Amino acid sequence: MAKLRYAEALNAALREEMQRDPNVFLFGEDIARYGGVFKVTRGLMEEFGESRVRDTPISEQTLAAMAVTAAMTGTRPVLEIMYADFMPLVLDALINQASIYEYIWADQVQMPFVLRTQGGGGAGAGAQHSKSLDVLIAHIPGIKVVAPVTPADAKGMLKAAIRDQQPVVFLEHKLLYNLRDEVPDDEDFIVEIGKARTVVEGTDISIFATSRMVLESQKAAELLAADGIKAEVIDLRSLRPLDLNAIKASIAKTHHAVVVNEGWRFCGYAAELSATIMDHAFDDLDAPVQRVTLPDLPVPYSEPLEMAVLPNAAKIADAARKALA
């Protein structure tokens, strides 16, 4: 075990998988000589050469099409799109190519590639660099979507994503890169995609969260504990596939649910998760599911305004109290 920052854990995962498999290569904007906008790929070009760590022009649609084509030829590309705000530019490659080729070619063609990108607010980056668009990708059948929170999960899930035979969109929150924690140094350490993690055990209410909102949910559980409320916090880890067994087991115990996601409220991931809970765990609910999300507004540049609109521990705790009222 070693204490690593989230960004360092991702770097370690990339290095180990590139050492393990010569078919793994990286490409994207500023990832080679500059080491990536958040330094996740620092030092990898020097170690593996420019043929396996490639800088590219700013052309997200072209890059995604390149990833699809490269995956079809038997390599394992890892593409970095600088900021999730620009993910709409890659949707054609994901919707009309990557997600359907395995189906239309009757499993004769596999699509093993990873698309890494950064999203989320709280960094004062303004409306064009602060979005959480996870629901746009999770909506697409055939695409796996993961959003690890801890450095250990970041490493283990990225390694799992690179080894996967299907396309995986790997979502990284910008405020997590400096988070430091213990990370296994075992080169065979992976975290299975599609398995949730119980962060806090509880018996009164279940809080299901994604990405950085897991940390806010942990803080909310502490606020609720001061009121004598025992909240269970579940880190979904994987947005698609979803760990339905973990969700149902938690609700069967607590009979109340809050879902937390940093995306917009209308047609958002929290709405889908709420509907999924109603579909599969309705009989165990004693009250309606509560949602905590970003309001249907752009993320402001002004720090006080940004903090006012983002979901936080206080809002999550209030939603839990409402569910229990």
- Out of 17, 60, 172, 272, which one is annotated catalytic? 60
List CB contacts of 205: < 8 A, sequence separation 6 or more. Answer: 224, 229, 230, 231, 232, 254, 256, 257, 258, 320, 323, 324
Cα end-to-end distance, the chain, whole Å: 44
Cα–Cα distance, 325 to 321 (Å, whole number):
6
SS3 142: coil
Catalytic residue among 17, 29, 129, 232: 129
In angstroms, the CA 271 to CA 250 distance is: 19
Concerning whether 60 is annotated as a catalytic residue, the answer is yes
DSSP code at position 84: G
Residue 250 in 3-state DSSP? helix
Known catalytic membership, residue 192: no
Instruction: Give exposure, 116-145, as e/b (b: 16+ Cβ within 10 Å).
Output: bbbbbbbeebeeebbbbbbbbbbebebbbb
Q: Which residues pair with 198 in a beta bridge?
A: 234
Element (H or E) spanning 12, and its range?
helix 6-20
| Under 8 Å between Cβ of 193 and 168 | yes
Q: Give the HSE-up count for residue 44: Cα atoms under 13 Å, Cβ half-sphere.
A: 31
Instruction: List C-alpha distances in Å: 293 to 35, 192, 248, 258, 297.
Output: 33, 27, 22, 11, 11
Q: What's the angle, vertex CA 98, arms to CA 95 and CA 118, rounded to 5? A: 80
> What φ, ψ does residue 228 adopt, rounded to 5°?
85, 15
Residues catalogued as catalytic: 60, 129
